Amino acid sequence: MIILVGGEKGGSGKSCLAQNIAVFLTAECGASIIMVDCDPQRTTSDWIHARNNNPDLPSINCVQLYGKIRNDLLSLDQHYDFVIVDCGGQDNLALRATMSVASHVLMPLRPKRRDLKTVSHMDDIVATCMMINPKMQASFVITQCPSLPNQANRILEAKDVCRTYDINVLDAITYSRNIYDDSEESGLSVIEIEPKGKAADEMRGIACEMLQAKNATEIRNRIATIHMNKMNSMRGEYGSSRSQEKLYAV
């Protein structure tokens, strides 16, 4: 399964989302994942480097790919449960190439006017790519929301703007919290720093809603079912080939 975290606006927390979703899927769902960094700023690559240099943390695989990466992603998808792609804040070839094969696309936006101005263009990009990949499930998610009660209308208004287009808007959101920056600098995720914290719950909520699952257990069970089906398919192919060998031997 290929998950793209991308969009046209920089600074909305794409890398942060991709990193925390990756840890959630590996640590709590038992998934095998690889991250693909398509951002020239190398934010996720630097995070992976810091993480994999810490012997106390489980390592995560990561590759850097740019440009026409469609076939590369399809190849990686054969070897991992999830391929998580972090695209930089711009409309480029890597973004569109990933959309052409992604099962899920997550587009973070802050509840700010300059972020919401990109919604129309992202809607056009999604519509174009869905002509090639009609099964793609695209969603907007509102991130870095203000926590003050008198700012709640900004969040609702941002969701209303997104809903005027034919793209899903997640109910789950993230609030502006220092723990997101602190975790990224140390190669950690918020789930590892404060497993029972509010930020960790925000990330779980986004990942589960995006994948249309109630919780990590449901995702884990789905992965186990996929693995079992693959094994049964391989056994069937092996049994069929053995039958052919016996037939030829006779």
pLDDT digits (tens, 9 = 90+) for 89-107: 778 899 999 999 999 999 9
Average the pLDDT over each of 25-29, 40-44, 199-203, 212-216 and give the range with the smallest value: 40-44
pLDDT digits (tens, 9 = 90+) for 18-77: 999 999 999 999 999 999 999 888 999 999 999 999 999 999 999 999 999 999 999 999
Greater model confidence, 242 or 166: 166
Residue appearing with tokens 């005027």: 164
Calculate the CA 76 to chain-centre distance: 15
What pLDDT is stored for residue 230 in this prediction?
A: 84
d(CA 48, CA 125): 29
d(CA 221, CA 34): 20
Is the CB of residue 60 less than 8 Å from the CB of residue 26?
A: yes
> Which residues, at least 6 apart from 136, have a Cβ–Cβ distance to it below 8 Å?
99, 102, 103, 104, 105, 126, 129, 130
CATH number of 2-212: 3.40.50.300
d(CA 9, CA 171): 20
For the chain, which residues make up each domain, given as ranges? 2-212, 219-250
Q: Using CA atoms in the order 199, 180, 170, 129, what is the torsion angle rounded to 10 degrees? A: -150
HSE toward the beta carbon, residue 60, CA cutoff 13 A: 33
What pLDDT is stored for residue 250 in this prediction?
A: 46
Give the confidence band of 185 by pLDDT, cuts at 50, 70, 90.
Answer: confident
